[in-house]
């Protein structure tokens, strides 16, 4: 087989995927727009209620953005290794490259970046995605990668997660990712319900929904951990192996779940021990004052200001009538 400009003719040129997910960009843009709107109307809130209202808005938007965003991230589990490896099939030419594995809820991303990027007259910079979400066949994506002639390290890593691999981890990761995604969607729904309850000043039930949100998030992390422990097949590149660990999305979801847990417990405890402070945090003290004012102005109480303007002593009333005559 002959070479053409230093490469095999059935191999296409380097075609690295765009590394930024547009879905995440849309989600972040929506939540930042909502936050900017809240900041604009912040000066219209009187008194110290501005600070509490701003904190509630930031925390609520942060929790919702994280729950929705981690659904589409690809770094729940990540790993990197630098190795000298063969670049193409049927070739003994080796390159020095950084090989990365990124596991998300929708599939696997394999990254291959040369060290340096320009080697053997080619640009070695790949980022390939192999999905396993509903309606997508992982083995078909892997076969398409074989037909395109992707570099050997990418195909070697992607083959570990195929259904034909002796590692037998495809089923565990795929099913677990589906259940994790479903649990996070439920957590997003409970977060929306908690926001609605807080806006209706039903604080106790809102705190309970936050506790339920935290439970769902932590349960989804537990599910993902069980799938990760099944990866016992080594990904070896000569003397070094590619090892993975929890990624940024996992730790971000864990922090958000603990935050929801603390906020929910705090609201429930304050509601039972010091409800006045809880009403102050949610700017409900003015409504209580209005209720007290309404009770003081009942018709049975003669001290009301409206009745004072209509009731006069009998002698003074006769004196005024005689003066007018």
Tens digit of pLDDT for each residue in 173-188? 899 999 999 999 999 9
Res 322: pLDDT: 43
Is there a single domain that holds both residue 109 and residue 46? no
Is there a single domain that holds both residue 184 and residue 134? no
Rounded CA separation 248/258 (Å): 15
Is there a single domain that holds both residue 141 and residue 275? no
In a domain, 302, yes or no: no
Rounded CA separation 116/19 (Å): 19
How does residue 148 score in pLDDT terms, banded at 50, 70 and 90? confident
Q: 68-72, 227-231, 316-320: which range is least confident on average?
A: 316-320
In a domain, 15, yes or no: no
Rounded CA separation 130/110 (Å): 8
Res 5: pLDDT: 40
Is there a single domain that holds both residue 122 and residue 265? no
Domain count, the chain: 2
pLDDT at 320 over 50: no
Is there a single domain that holds both residue 262 and residue 205? yes
Backbone angles phi, psi at 45, to 5 degrees: -90, 125
Beta-bridged to residue 240, according to DSSP, are 237
* Overall average pLDDT of the 21-38 stretch: 83
Backbone angles phi, psi at 218, to 5 degrees: -65, -35
CA torsion 312→313→315→317, rounded to 10°?
10
Is there a single domain that holds both residue 100 and residue 31? no
Rounded CA separation 203/268 (Å): 8
Handedness of CA 233, 238, 242, 243 (dihedral sign): positive
Q: 89-98, 109-118, 140-149: which range is least confident on average?
A: 89-98
Domain residues for 107? Answer: 77-167
Is there a single domain that holds both residue 211 and residue 182? yes
- Residue 42 DSSP symbol: G
Beta-bridged to residue 80, according to DSSP, are 100
* Overall average pLDDT of the 104-115 stretch: 91
Is there a single domain that holds both residue 114 and residue 163? yes
In a domain, 245, yes or no: no
Residues in the chain: 325
Is there a single domain that holds both residue 147 and residue 209? no
Output b/e per residue, 110-134; b: 16+ Cβ within 10 A: bbbbbeeeebeebebbbbbbbbbee
Is there a single domain that holds both residue 175 and residue 112? no
* Overall average pLDDT of the 191-210 stretch: 92
Q: Write the burial class of residue 253 (CB in 10 Å: 0-12 exposed, 13-18 middle, 19+ buried).
A: buried
In a domain, 268, yes or no: yes
């Amino acid at each position: 087989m002959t070479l053409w400009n230093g490469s095999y003719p059935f191999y296409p040129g380097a075609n690295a995927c765009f590394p930024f997910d547009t879905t995440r960009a849309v989600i972040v843009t929506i939540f930042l727009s909502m936050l900017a709107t809240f900041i604009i109307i912040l000066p219209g809130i009187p008194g110290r209620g501005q600070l509490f209202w701003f904190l509630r808005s930031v925390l609520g938007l942060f929790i919702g953005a994280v729950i929705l965003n981690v659904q589409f991230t690809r770094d729940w589990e990540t790993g990197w290794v630098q190795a000298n490896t063969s670049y193409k099939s049927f070739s003994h030419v080796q390159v020095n490259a950084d090989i990365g594995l990124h596991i998300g809820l929708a599939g696997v991303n394999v990254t291959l970046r040369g060290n340096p990027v320009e080697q053997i007259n080619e640009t070695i910079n790949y980022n390939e995605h192999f999905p396993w979400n509903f309606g997508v066949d992982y083995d078909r994506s892997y076969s398409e990668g074989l037909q395109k002639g992707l570099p050997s390290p990418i195909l070697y890593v992607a083959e570990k997660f195929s259904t034909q691999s002796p590692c037998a981890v495809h089923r565990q990761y795929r099913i677990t990712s589906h259940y994790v995604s479903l649990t996070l969607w439920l957590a997003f729904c409970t977060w929306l319900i908690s926001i609605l309850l807080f806006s209706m000043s039903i604080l106790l039930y809102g705190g309970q929904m936050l506790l339920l949100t935290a439970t769902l998030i932590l349960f989804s992390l537990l599910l993902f951990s069980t799938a990760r422990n099944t990866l016992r097949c080594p990904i070896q590149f000569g003397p070094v192996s590619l090892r993975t660990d929890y990624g940024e999305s996992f730790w971000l979801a864990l922090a958000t779940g603990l935050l929801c847990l603390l906020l929910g417990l705090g609201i429930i405890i304050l509601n039972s021990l010091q409800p006045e402070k809880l009403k102050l945090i949610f700017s409900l003290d003015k409504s209580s004052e209005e209720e007290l004012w309404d009770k003081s102005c009942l018709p049975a109480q003669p001290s009301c200001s409206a009745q004072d303007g209509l009731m006069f002593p009998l002698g003074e009333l006769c004196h005024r009538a005689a003066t007018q005559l």
